[in-house]
Structure 1
Amino acid sequence: MKFKEYPYEHLDENELHEQFLKIEDKLKNAKDYEEFHEAFKELDKLNRHVQTMSSLCNVRHTIDTKDAYYTKENDHYDHILPLVQNDLVNATKTIWASPYFNDLKKDVPETYFLLKEMEMKAFDEKIIEDMQEENKLASAYQALVASADVEFDGEHYSLAGLEVKMNDADRKVREEATKAYWGWFEDHEKEIGELYDKMVKVRTRMAKKMGYDTFTPLGYLRMTRLDYDENDVANYRRQVLEDVVPFANTLYERQKNRLGYDTLHVWDEKIEFLSGNPKPKYDREEMVKRALKMYKELDPATGEFFQFMVDHDVLDLDSYPGKAAGGYCTFFPDYESPFIFANFNHTSHDAEVLTHEAGHAFQVYSSKGIEPADCIWPTMESCEIHSMSMEFFTYPWMKMFFEEDVDKYYFNHLSGDVKFLPYGVLVDHFQHEVYAHPEMTPDERMAAWRRLEKQYLPHKNYEGVPVLEKGGWWMRQLHIFMNPFYYIDYTLAQVCAMQFWARMQENDPTAFEDYKKICRIGGTLPFKGIVREAGLKVPFEAGSLKNVMEKTQDWFAKVDETKY
C-alpha cells in the first residue's frame, strides 16, 4: 500500500472522548492484572490510532497548505489534541492509582513512567484553551511562511526555493537573493513579532496557571528532558563558548581567505569555495535510486528499510508552491510506516535529507515493534543522534552523489557541523532569555538576539541587510515558534555524532553496530543512557567537547584547501 492509499478518517471529539472513558473504566474496574494489562494495551492502540490520523493529516496539510479539506482538518486537530491529552492524562492517573501499577512496571520500559510523570506535571484541564490558542498561533506562523512569494530576477520563489539563488556561485546574485529573502521578513517583521509575542504570552500564562514562575520549567517538561536540567544545559553552553566558538571563528577566517574576500558578508557564508559549493549531480529521482543502492550496501537492515520507503512512496522531497517550509520525518503507528518530508533545492542539503531524515526514519523503522507507542521514539535530543550520525556513516557513498566534488562535500559538511554548534546554542540561549523576560517587546527581543549573536557568532557582517543588523535572524527559525526549547537537542546530538565520526576515522568496526543498537532501543532509555549504550561520551561531561574538537581540528589541519 502506497502513501496516497493510507486510509484517513476524521476523528470526532465526542466519540473519541467516549472511547477514552470506556478504557479508563476498564482500567479502574479490572478484576486482575491480566484484565488491567489488556485495558492498557487497548489504551495504547487508541493512542496509536490518534497519532496515526493526526500525523497523516499533518503530512497531507504540509504537502499542500492550500488543500481546503486538510487545512480544515489541521484546524480540527489544533482544537482536539489538547482534549485528547486531557483524556490521556486522566487515564495515566488511573494507571498510577491502580493496585496493578507495580505489576505493569515489570512489562513496560521505565522511560514510559518517566514520560508520563512529566506529562502529568505539564498538563491540566485549566490550560486546554491556552493550548488550543498556542496551536492556532503556530499554524498561523507556518502558513505565513509557506505563503511567501518572493519576486526575484523576474521569477517567483518560495523562501525555500530562493535559497538556491542564495547559494549561487555569482557573488552579486547571492547578495541580491539574500536581500530579497530577508526583505520578505522585513516586510513581515511586525506580523511575525506580534505572532511570537502572543505565543510567549500564552505560554507564560499556561506556566503561571500550572504554578511555575516562568515558562522555562514547563517547556523542559514538555520537551521531556528526562535526565538533565537547565544547569546542565547552561554548563554545556559555556563549553561551546570556550571550546567551539574560537575554532569556528578560525574556520570562518579560513573561508574568507580561501574566497579571497576582504570581508565575509552574510551572503558569502553559504559559499565555501570560489569554484562553487558541492552540489549533487543528479535529480531527485536518480538520487533516490542511488540512495537505495547506498543503503543496501551499507547494511542489510538499512537496505530493507529504504526499500520499504521507496515501495510505499513515503518520500515527498520536491519543493513547490503551497508546500510548507522545512523538512521532517514522522511515523504512522497503525501502518508501521515512517514518512520523510523535505524541500529539495539542488544544494548539498538534498543529499543531507537522504541521510539525516533517513536516519530518523531508520531508527523508528527499527524500533516500531516497541510497546507502548510512547517508547518507539526516544526524546528529541536522542532522536537527533540517529539522524546526524547517519550523515557520517554514509560518507563512503557520497561519491555516488557528488562525483569529483566529494572531497569538497566532506570539507563543507564537517565545517558546517562545527559552525552549527554555536548557532544551535544561540537559539537555545535566546529562548531562555525570552521566557525569563516575557514582558520584552518585539523590538527588545530583536536586540536580545543580536546581543547573544555577537557572543556566539562574532564574525557576522550584516552590512546592507538592516533587518539582520537589528536582530531579525531568529524570525526564520521554525523551532522557536513551533517547538519551544527544541534546538539544543541538535547540538547535543551533533557532538555525539561527531564522536561516531571520530571512531570511523580510527576504523572502529563496532561503531555502526553500536549505532544500530541504539536505533533498536528506540525510546526505552533516556538520553544519557542511550549515549552510553552507544559507547559515547555524554556532552555535558567536562572535556567531551574539547576532545572531539581537537580531533576535528587535526582533520582540518591536514586538508589542502588549494585543490578546491
Structure 2
Amino acid sequence: MTFNEYEYQRPDMQEVQATFTAQVKRIREANDNEEALSAIKKVQELQREIETASTLTSIRHSVDTRDDFYEKETDFWDEQTPIIEEWVSEYYRAVLESPLREQIEQHLPHTFFLLAENQLKIFSSEIIPLLQQENRLVSEYGKLKASAEIEYQGKTYNLSSIAAFTQSADRKERQETSELITDWYQAHLEEFDRIYDQLVKTRDQIAKELGFKDFVEVGYARMARLDYDRSDVEVYRQEVQKNVVPLAQQLIQRQKERLAYKDLQYFDLALQFPNGNPKPEGSSEEIVRQAVKMYHELSPETGEFIDFMVDNGLLDLESKAGKNSGGYCTYIPNFDAPFIFANFNGTAGDVEVLTHEAGHAFQVYQSRWIETPEAVWPTLESCEIHSMSMEFLTWPWMKGFFGAEIEKFKYQHLANAILFIPYGVLVDHFQHEVYEHPEMTPQERRQTWRRLEKVYNPWKNYDTNPFYEEGGWWFKQLHIFTSPFYYIDYTLAQVCAFQFWKRSQIDHDPNTWHDYLSICKAGGTKTFTEIVELAGLNSPFKEGSLQGTLDSINQYLTNIDEEQLKN
C-alpha cells in the first residue's frame, strides 16, 4: 500500500473519548500489574489511531493548502488537539499516581515518566480555549506564507521556489529576487505583526494561567528539555559567542575576498563562489535514484529503509503551487511509515534537505519497535542529531550528486553549518527576550531582533534594505511562530553532528556508524544527554567543549585551495 492509498477517516471522537476514559479508569482501579498494563496498551492503540489520522491530515494539507477537505480537517484537529491533551493528561496522572507504578516502570521507558511529569506541568483544562486559539493562529501563519505568489521574469513562484534565485551567480538577479521577497513580507507586515502579537499574548496568558513566571518556562517544558535548563543554555550561548562567531566572521571575510566585492550585502551571503554555488546534477527523479544507490552502499539498514520509502511513495519533494513552504519528516504510526516533505528548487539544498530529513526518517524507521508512542521519537534536539549527522555521514557519496563541484559542495556545506550556529542561537535568544517582555510592541520586537542580530551576525549589511535594517528578517523563521523555542535544538545537534563529521571524515573511527545506528534504534528511550553519551560525543553544555571540533573544521576549510573555489 502506497501513501496515496492510506485511507483517512476522521475518528468518532465521542467513541474514542469514551474508550480512552474507560481505560484510564481501569488503570486507576487496577489491582494487579497485568490489568494496568492491559489498559495502558489499549490507550497506546488509541494514541496511534489519533496520531495516524491527525498526521495524514497535516501531510495532505501541507502538500496542498488549497484542498478544502483537508483545510476543514486541519481546523477540526486544531480544535480537538487540546481536548485530547486533557485526556492524555488524565492518563499520565493515573499512571504516575498508581500504587502499581514501580511494577509499571519495569515495562515502560524511563523517559515516559519524565515526559508525563513534564506534560502535567504545562496542561490544565482551563487553558484549552487558549490552546485552540494558539493552534488557529499557527495555522493562519502557515496559510499566509503558502499564499505567496511572486512574479519574476514572467513566471510565478512561491517563497521556496523563488529562493533559488537568491543563490544566483548574477548579482543583479540575487538583489532583484531578494527585494521581491522583502516586498512580499513588507506588504504583509501588519498581518505578520498581528498574528505574532496575538501568539505572544496568548502564550503569555497560558503561562500565567498555569502559574509560571513567563512563557519561557512553558516553552522549555513543551520542548521536553528533561535534563538541561536556562543556565546550561547560557553557558552554551557564551561558548558560541566566544568561539563560533569569530570563526564565522573569518569565513565571511574569506567569502568577501573570493567574490571580490568591496561590500558584502545581505543578498550576497547565500553565494559562496564567483561562478555560482554547486548544484546537484540531474532531475528530482535522478536525485532520488542516486540517493537509493547511496543508501544501499552505506549500510544494509539504510538500503532497506530507502526501498521502503520509495516503494511506498513516502516522499513529496517537488515545489508546487499551494504547497506549504519548508521541509519536514513525520511519522504515520498505524502504517509504520515515516514521510518526507520538501520543496526542491534546484540548489544544493535539495540534497541537503533530502539527507537531513532522511536522517529523521531513518531514526524513526529504526525505532518502530518501541510500543510507547511518547518514546518512538526522542526529544527534538536529539532528533536533530540524527538528521544533521546523516548529512555528514553521506559525504563519501556526494560526488554522485555534485560531480566536479564536489569540493565546492563540501566547503559550502561545512562553512554554512558554522555560519548557521550563531543564527540559530540568535533565534533562541530573541525568543527569550520576547517572552520575558510580552508587553513589547511589534516595533520593539523588531528592534530587539536587530540588536541581537548585530551580536550574533555582525556581518549582515542591510544598507539597501530598510525592512531588514529595522529588524524584519525573523518573519521568515517559521519556528518562531509555530514552535516557540524549537531552534537552538538545531545548533546543539549541529555541534554533535560536527563530532560525527570529525570521527568519520578526519579520524576514520570504525565505530562511527555503530554509534550512530545505536542512537537511532534507541529512539526516545533516552534523554538528550544520555543520547550524547551513548553516541560517544562531548556535551555542548561543557565549557570549552566546542573548541577541538571547531579547530578540525577550521583546518579542513583552510586546506581547501581558494583558487579551486574561485573556478
Report the TM range for the smaller structure's normalisation.
Answer: over 0.9
The corresponding residue for 1:156 is: 156
The corresponding residue for 2:474 is: 474
The corresponding residue for 1:28 is: 28
Shift of 1:22: 1.4
What CA distance in whole angstroms lies between the structure 2 residues aligned with 1:271 and 1:376? 39
The corresponding residue for 1:12 is: 12
What CA distance in whole angstroms lies between the structure 1 residues aligned with 2:54 and 2:562? 48
1:82-481 correspondence runs (5 A): 82-481=82-481
State the one-letter code of the partner of 1:255.
Q
Please, what TM-score do these two structures have when normalized by structure 2? 0.99
Identify which range, 527-536 or 148-157, moves more after superposition.
Answer: 148-157
What CA distance in whole angstroms lies between the structure 1 residues aligned with 2:386 and 2:80? 31
Q: CA RMSD in A?
A: 0.8
**Does the residue aligned with 1:244 lie in a helix, a strand or coil?**
helix
The corresponding residue for 1:43 is: 43
Moved over 4 A (4+): none
Shift of 1:129: 0.3
**Does the residue aligned with 1:369 lie in a helix, a strand or coil?**
coil
**Does the residue aligned with 1:428 lie in a helix, a strand or coil?**
helix
1:453-532 correspondence runs (5 A): 453-504=453-504, 505-532=506-533
Q: Is the 8 A contact 2:381 2:528 kept in 1?
A: yes
**Does the residue aligned with 1:81 lie in a helix, a strand or coil?**
helix
Shift of 1:206: 0.4
Shift of 1:440: 0.2
Please, what TM-score do these two structures have when normalized by structure 1? 0.99
**Does the residue aligned with 2:369 lie in a helix, a strand or coil?**
coil
Deviations 1:232-257 (CA, angstroms, capped at 9, x unpaired): 01111111000000010000000000
Shift of 1:108: 0.9
What CA distance in whole angstroms lies between the structure 1 residues aligned with 2:33 and 2:455? 57
State the one-letter code of the partner of 2:238.
R
Identify which range, 189-198 or 148-157, moves more after superposition.
Answer: 148-157
Shift of 1:16: 2.3
Deviations 1:186-213 (CA, angstroms, capped at 9, x unpaired): 1111110111000000000000000011
Deviations 1:336-381 (CA, angstroms, capped at 9, x unpaired): 0000000001000000122100000000000011121110100000
What CA distance in whole angstroms lies between the structure 2 residues aligned with 1:340 and 1:52? 15
Q: Is the 8 A contact 2:96 2:113 kept in 1?
A: no
State the one-letter code of the partner of 1:120.
L
Identify which range, 473-482 or 21-30, moves more after superposition.
Answer: 21-30
Q: Is the 8 A contact 2:256 2:264 kept in 1?
A: yes
State the one-letter code of the partner of 2:117.
E
1:535 and 2:536 correspond = yes
What CA distance in whole angstroms lies between the structure 2 residues aligned with 1:48 and 1:290? 33
What CA distance in whole angstroms lies between the structure 1 residues aligned with 2:320 and 2:307? 25
Shift of 1:15: 2.3
State the one-letter code of the partner of 1:535.
G
The corresponding residue for 2:554 is: 553
**Does the residue aligned with 2:242 lie in a helix, a strand or coil?**
helix
Deviations 1:97-131 (CA, angstroms, capped at 9, x unpaired): 22211101011111000000000001000100000
State the one-letter code of the partner of 1:30.
A
What CA distance in whole angstroms lies between the structure 1 residues aligned with 2:55 and 2:514? 31
Shift of 1:13: 2.9
What CA distance in whole angstroms lies between the structure 2 residues aligned with 1:72 and 1:260? 52
What CA distance in whole angstroms lies between the structure 1 residues aligned with 2:28 and 2:527? 29
The corresponding residue for 1:563 is: 564
Shift of 1:168: 1.2
What CA distance in whole angstroms lies between the structure 2 residues aligned with 1:377 and 1:164? 32
**Does the residue aligned with 2:343 lie in a helix, a strand or coil?**
coil
Identify which range, 12-21 or 380-389, moves more after superposition.
Answer: 12-21
Tell me the number of residue pairs that the alignment of Structure 1 and Structure 2 aligns.
564
